[in-house]
Structure formats: structure tokens, C-alpha cells
Chains A and B, each alone.
Chain A
């Protein structure tokens, strides 16, 4: 079966995903494409950062001889909230509050890229070297 994975800012459709209750088993290619995480001998790795699979809990994270990985188990380990809609097979993985709070308190302004009315993309970084006021408003 398929699943749509909302991870960080991305949206990814995995054709061969197994959602089983609170668990989401993905092939390693889908795992990498949806989230950037890879399964390596040292554990689950995102770039340079590796998280070892907790001792004695392999079956919770890996199956089919290491060909499938449980993304939901990793999210629980890292403190990422999960919200899912079984009817449409959509899994949303949120940010761990500790990570967001650490980022907020670093006072480094996180970059983002968004369109204007004409569809032209702008990043915060395009205006580096200027004093910038981000002003949030809404039509509602």
C-alpha cells in the first residue's frame, strides 16, 4: 500500500509503505527520499549524525533482513510528534519541541523560501546584509 509522508517541509508519496497501527515500515530508498535518514551499520543516520538503534530493540526498527525501516519508531525515539490519517494514508511528522526550542534560542534566523503574488520565490537569505522585519499577517 502507499502512504504520504509529511516530514520537515517535504511531502513524499511512498508507493510501497506498510502502515501498521502506530508503525510505518518503509523501504530504505523511500526512507531516504522522504526524510534523508539512512540505515547504516552504526544506526539511523542523517548526514553526519547517527542515532544507534537502542540495544535489544532491533525488531522495533528494522525487519526483512534490514530492507525495511520503521520511521515511526525513529520519530518516537527522537521525540517527533506523529499525526496520521488512516483513511488517506497520510503521516505527518512534526518537529521535536526540544529541537525547535534550541533553534529558537540560538537567535539564528532560520531561512525559508516562499512565493510572492506573481509566483516569484524569495528567501530570507536574499536580503542578507540588510535589517529585516518579518511581519506576519493574514487575510482572515
Chain B
């Protein structure tokens, strides 16, 4: 769906670099990048994709990279998907990692019949539209754009890692390595410990669930964890 935005802006010295955080590698992501089946419309609606994006959809022509070890997540402190970082022509970060057009509207999904209340669909679309408009503004106006944050503001938005977070990242790395080597049972021990130490990283939690069992990342454990957030957001809204 980002393809439409990319098409629109690609002649303005702009590129999207998609990073798939996937321990299972190319095989896990291929069907999403080169889709053979269209995504069901209700799912698109819930993700805030409007007619315009759907009409412009197609196989991405921007680079889609595969990050089996979650290297980029560690380097940029990315804790959920979709999250994005804006980097200017000189390699300077003008917006650190934040929710990329996603919002908590998905929590209003009726799990019994998968129906979407109209207000949730509208909320999802508004968040998506606002975020994409911010990107357009930056690509056209560059550093004069109000969305290109001054350094102090950008720095202030970086939460930083605690010692416990860093320890969780290390356990996650160990678990992923053992999983890649075929030591699945041992891997799960460390992945579970990483999840407990860093419960605010949905990237760690959902990846480790998915390693445990395909589909678990969006199964009952996931929904229970989302419910347990109460008033706290799953996607902290990007402060545009």
C-alpha cells in the first residue's frame, strides 16, 4: 500500500526502504511482498487504507529488505510494526521511530464476527491520511516542513533503552540464533525470558510467539496482551 505514496513522490529524491523483521526470512515475507492473493477489504479498512491507496496498490518497486535478526529494530529501537524513521539527505534523523500511520482502531474489531464499527474505520483512515500527508509535506518542503523535527525535539522523543531492555535484546539475539540453528526448544526459553523482561516490545513478543507456533502472534495470547493494556495505547499515536 505504500507503493501508491512512493509512486507519487519518487521523482522528488525520495525513497521508502521497507524492512521486514522476520526471523523466518524470505519465505515468510515473500507472499506479502509479491502478493498472489489480495488482502481482504475489511483488513485494509481496519488498517486505514482508503480507496486511493488501494487503487494505487501493486508490487513494491522500492527496496524491500529482510531483517532476520532484527538488526534495524535494535539500531533504531523499533518496538512494534509498522513503525518508521525519517532520514534526510545527509543521513540525519528528523523523526525517530514512531507509529507509521497505524492507530489503535483495530482494538475495536469485533472478534466474534470480525466486523468493524464505522467509527473505528474512520479513525484508522484519519490516522493513515494524516501520516501520509506529513510525509508529502516533508518530501516537498524538506527541512522547512513542520514535520521535520528540530534536533532537540527529535532527541526528546527518544525513550532510550534501560539495562533491562538491553538484557532482553541480548536474550532475544541468543534465542534467535539457537532457533536458526535448529535448537527450537532451547530458543523458546530465552525468547520467553526476553518477552518477560521487555513487555513493551511488541516486536520481541510477537516474533517470539510466532516462533513458538505459527499464527500465535495474532492469536489469543496477543489479544489478551492487548486487552491487558487497558487505557494504554498499543500504537502510541505519532505526534505530528
Inter-chain CA distance A122–B93, complex, in Å, is 19
A124 to B166, Cβ gap below 8 A? no
Specify the chain B residue showing the minimal Cβ separation from A118: B26
B77 to A104, Cβ gap below 8 A? yes
User: In the assembled complex, how far is the CB of residue A127 from the closest CB belonging to chain B, in whole angstroms?
Assistant: 5
Q: Is the interface of A mostly helix, strand, loop or mixed?
A: mixed
For B139, the chain A residues whose CB sits under 8 A away are 131
**Residue B238 at the A interface, CB < 8 A?**
no
B177 to A11, Cβ gap below 8 A? yes
**Residue B75 at the A interface, CB < 8 A?**
yes
Q: How large is the interface on B (under 10, 10 to 19, 20 to 34, 35 or more residues)?
A: 35 or more
A88 to B178, Cβ gap below 8 A? yes
A114 to B174, Cβ gap below 8 A? no
Q: Which of B203-222 contact A (CB under 8 A)?
A: 203, 206-207, 209-210, 217-218
A112 to B75, Cβ gap below 8 A? yes
Inter-chain CA distance A105–B151, complex, in Å, is 9
Given A114-B65, A122-B17, A132-B88, 20 more pairs with CB closer than 8 A: A85-B178, A85-B186, A100-B77, A100-B160, A100-B166, A104-B76, A105-B160, A109-B87, A117-B29, A129-B13, A130-B13, A130-B89, A133-B84, A134-B84, A135-B18, A136-B21, A137-B18, A138-B29, A139-B32, A140-B217
B-to-A contact residues, CB < 8 Å? 2, 12-22, 24, 26, 28-34, 63-67, 69, 71-78, 81-93, 96-97, 100, 135, 138-139, 142, 151, 154-155, 158, 160-163, 165-167, 169-171, 173-174, 177-178, 181, 183, 186, 190, 203, 206-207, 209-210, 217-218
